[in-house]
Amino acid sequence: MTRRLLLLRHAEAANPPEGDFSEEADRARPLTAEGQRAAARCGAWLRAQALAPDLVLCSPARRTRETLAALAPFQTTPALRTLFCPDIYEAQPDALLARIRQAPASARTVLLIGHNPGISALARWLDDQAPILDQGFATASLAVFHMWGSENAQSMPDWASCDAKSLTLDTFARP
């Protein structure tokens, strides 16, 4: 069975309170009404594509948690194994990749819900031959990567070895 990596930028969030540029205020930003609808569309799209993750790696920011919650009603599994990872919040691509590499070998599909610019930069690094990624990641954008060799049980790569040579973009969507 093929391994897939799903990178999802959180849906549209409200602006922080006027003049409050603190990390605490940024982490507390909720989704807007349009953000809730966009996240629900992402969940419906994931279900239509039969892309139910085995593991979710999610930033603990409110907007990422609310994005995940809006996905849940559309998933085929009743409860997703979810890790809220502080190191995903505002992370650079190398930190995001390090977190992905820690995923257990038993996870076939991993969903990472995070923030820009890290998500966009990681996607672009993973497949620099995909011109669609030049558009960047608007809120609620989703990139689906396929891990090469994961469909062959004899040479089954695991998450610890994933890199730009082992992952290729299958789909980029803004449901």
Q: Which domains does the chain have, with CATH numbers?
A: 4-173 (3.40.50.1240)
Per-residue confidence band for 79, with pLDDT thresholds at 50, 70 and 90: low
Tell me the C-alpha distance between 79 and 58, whole Å. 15
CB atoms within 10 A of CB 76: 9
Q: Which residues of 56-72 are buried (b: 16+ CB within 10 A; e: fewer)?
A: bbbbebbbbbbbbebbb
Q: What are φ and ψ of residue 29, in 5° steps?
A: -65, 125
Average pLDDT over residues 91-95: 95
Indicate whether 155 pLDDT > 70. Answer: no
Please tell me the distance from the alpha carbon of residue 7 to that of residue 150, in angstroms, as a whole number: 18
Give the separation between CA 111 and CA 16, rounded to whole angstroms. 26
Widest distance between CA atoms in the chain: 56
Q: Please check whether residue 7 is in contact with residue 143, taking contact to mean a CB–CB distance below 8 angstroms.
A: yes
Tell me, what's the pLDDT at 152?
47
Q: Which distant-in-sequence residues (6+ apart) come within 8 Å of 31 by Cβ?
A: 10, 11, 12, 13, 14, 39, 63, 66, 67, 70
How do residues 96-154 score in pLDDT, each as one tens digit? 999 999 999 889 999 999 999 999 999 999 988 888 988 878 999 999 999 876 554 45
Give 151 or 57, the one with higher predicted confidence. 57
Mean pLDDT of the chain: 89
Return the top range by mean pLDDT from 63-67, 70-74, 135-139, 148-152: 63-67
State the pLDDT at residue 1: 65
User: When comparing pLDDT for 166 and 7, which is higher?
Assistant: 7
Q: What is the pLDDT of residue 76?
A: 53
Report how far residue 59's alpha carbon sits from residue 44's, in angstroms, rounded to the nearest whole number.
21
Give the whole-angstrom CA distance, residue 167 versus residue 5.
8
90: left (phi over 0), alpha (psi -120 to 50) or beta: left
